[in-house]
């Protein structure tokens, strides 16, 4: 067998030079023929080398124990018998080294000639040819690395987003089961004037103030807080300026005529009307609730999955605008609020922001034809899970101020008829009166 392998190796080595010379005479399709011949010859050598590898050491170091190589009992080794047959000064170790050397040469010829056969067979350099030299390499890479890559890609791009989305849904469901924190507001005591005990010290002044259009001319461009101080002079003046039986209609009119019309705005804490001339500016910590009510928009589950979950992990981190909430800022307020204790005042204001965020999520003050819409697709949001996205950084807002689940919205009472716009405004005005001053 070693002699056969050696002869085959020498023959192939000679054929290598012959085929190389023939390529100068015959090209293109002849290269395929030479490549097939090379492959056939090299396969015969590979079969012989494979059989030899079963009883030969892999290296020359293994020949040190050639006399005991693969022996059982007292049976002499293969190399010992080969040395006896060869005679002379042959030893098992020398014979073993010769076998291993010839076997190594055969393996080297196999490796080198396999490259030659590959070049001969895959000779066509056209891109889509089946004999393109790069095609076997590409197919090998696809087989070895394509399947693991496909599995990893499926896990990363299909399975992972759905797992993360399911995890977020479980957290939302947990918040739904816990429910929303009940917010309690101090209800103002209804003003019930006692006309029998009311003394009018200046009847002419009282008569003038009870005429509404005259009163509105008097308070025109007057600061709203000064109007309140005016009403505190006596019970009769209080009843003339803020009549108990017509308070819902009188307050909006007074607010409309008071203060400078160009710079008129609401106090941040009590919602009284103020302007640039009567406002007080204080340097206080920011209010987190104002950012949520102003910027955050509700999203449906479909839009949330497309824009946030259907991406690699941490593609869009949660909103971190809360880091700016603790920063101090200048805040405009009325004189009454400016002298109040800061911590308690801001805590009460945050509670009202919580209620306002819930009202916006439910659509409490929307008309019968108006619906809460998704910030992404602009479609109507049905009952179910709510996802909130910050309008500043365009990231998910996970603050607990936003409801995680919205139930069915109560429709209008058919027995009472359709609620008019004026009635809704009066209802909103009376609802907000729980947290704002006159």
Instruction: Tell me the per-residue pLDDT of 140-187, one tens digit each, with 9 for 90 and over.
Output: 777 777 778 788 877 777 888 888 888 889 999 888 888 888 888 877
Domain segments of the chain: what residues?
A: 2-132
Nearest to 251 by CA among 54, 35, 425, 65: 425
- From the number of C-beta atoms within 10 Å of its C-beta (0-12, 13-18, 19+), residue 253 rates as middle
* Residue-level pLDDT at 314: 53
Confidence of residue 205 (pLDDT cuts 50, 70, 90): confident
Tens digit of each residue's pLDDT (9 = 90 or more) over 342-375:
999 999 999 999 999 999 998 887 877 788 999 9
Instruction: With cut-offs at 50, 70 and 90, classify the pLDDT of residue 11.
Output: low
What average pLDDT does the structure give for the chain?
Answer: 79
How many CB atoms are closer than 10 A to CB 389? 24
When comparing pLDDT for 129 and 395, which is higher? 395
SS3 helix, strand, coil % of the chain, rounded to 5? 55, 5, 40
- Model pLDDT, residue 183: 85
Backbone angles phi, psi at 79, to 5 degrees: -70, -30
CA distance 350 to 403: 15
- Using DSSP's 3-state secondary structure scheme, residue 283 falls into strand
How many CB atoms sit inside 10 A of residue 121's CB? Answer: 19
- Residue that wins the pLDDT comparison between 29 and 368: 368
Over the stretch 266-275, which tens digit does the pLDDT of each residue have?
A: 999 988 999 9
277-289 burial code (b ≥16 CB/10 A, e <16): ebbeeeebebbbb
Give the pLDDT confidence score for residue 438 in this predicted structure.
Answer: 43
Alpha-carbon distances of 175 from 145, 179, 218, 352, 405, rounded to whole Å = 44, 6, 53, 21, 8
Using CA atoms, how far apart are residues 79 and 69, in angstroms rounded to an integer?
8
Q: How far apart are the first and last CA of the chain?
A: 112
């Amino acid at each position: 067998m070693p002699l056969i392998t050696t002869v085959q190796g020498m023959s192939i080595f000679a054929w290598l030079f012959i085929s190389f010379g023939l390529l100068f005479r015959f090209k293109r399709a002849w290269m395929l023929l030479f490549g097939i011949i090379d492959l056939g010859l090299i396969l015969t050598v590979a079969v012989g080398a494979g059989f030899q590898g079963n009883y030969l050491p892999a290296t020359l170091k293994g020949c040190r124990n050639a006399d005991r190589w693969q022996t059982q009992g007292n049976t002499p080794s293969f190399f010992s018998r080969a040395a006896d047959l060869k005679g002379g000064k042959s030893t098992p170790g020398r014979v073993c080294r010769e076998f291993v050397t010839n076997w190594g040469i055969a393996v080297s010829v196999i490796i080198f000639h396999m490259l030659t056969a590959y070049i001969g067979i895959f000779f066509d350099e056209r891109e889509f040819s089946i004999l393109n030299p790069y095609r076997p390499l590409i197919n090998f890479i696809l087989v070895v690395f394509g399947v693991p890559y496909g599995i990893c890609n499926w896990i990363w791009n299909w399975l992972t987003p759905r797992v993360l989305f399911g995890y977020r849904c479980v957290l939302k469901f947990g918040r739904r089961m816990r429910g929303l924190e009940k917010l309690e507001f101090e209800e103002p005591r209804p003003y019930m004037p006692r006309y029998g005990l009311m003394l009018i010290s200046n009847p002419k002044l009282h008569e003038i103030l009870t005429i509404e259009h005259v009163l509105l001319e008097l308070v025109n461009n007057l600061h709203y807080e000064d109007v309140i101080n005016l009403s505190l002079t006596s019970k009769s003046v209080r009843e003339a300026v803020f009549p108990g039986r017509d308070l819902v209609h009188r307050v909006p009119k007074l607010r409309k005529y008071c203060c400078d019309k160009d710079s008129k705005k609401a106090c941040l804490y009590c919602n009284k009307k103020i302007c640039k001339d009567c406002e007080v500016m204080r340097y206080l910590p920011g209010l987190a609730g104002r950012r949520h009510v102003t910027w955050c928009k509700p999203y449906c589950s479909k839009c949330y999955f497309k824009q946030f979950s259907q991406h690699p992990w941490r593609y869009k981190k949660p909103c971190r605008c809360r880091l700016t909430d603790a920063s101090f800022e200048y805040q405009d307020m009325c004189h009454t609020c400016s002298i109040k204790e800061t911590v308690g005042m801001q805590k009460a204001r945050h509670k009202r922001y919580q209620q306002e965020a819930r009202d916006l999520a439910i659509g409490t003050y929307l008309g019968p034809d108006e619906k809460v819409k998704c910030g992404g697709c602009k479609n109507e949001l049905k009952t179910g899970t709510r996802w909130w996205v910050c309008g500043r950084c365009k990231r998910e807002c996970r603050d607990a101020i936003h409801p995680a689940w919205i139930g069915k919205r109560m429709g209008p009472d058919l027995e009472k008829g359709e609620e008019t716009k004026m009635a809704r405004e009066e209802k909103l005005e009376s609802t907000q009166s729980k947290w704002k001053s006159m």
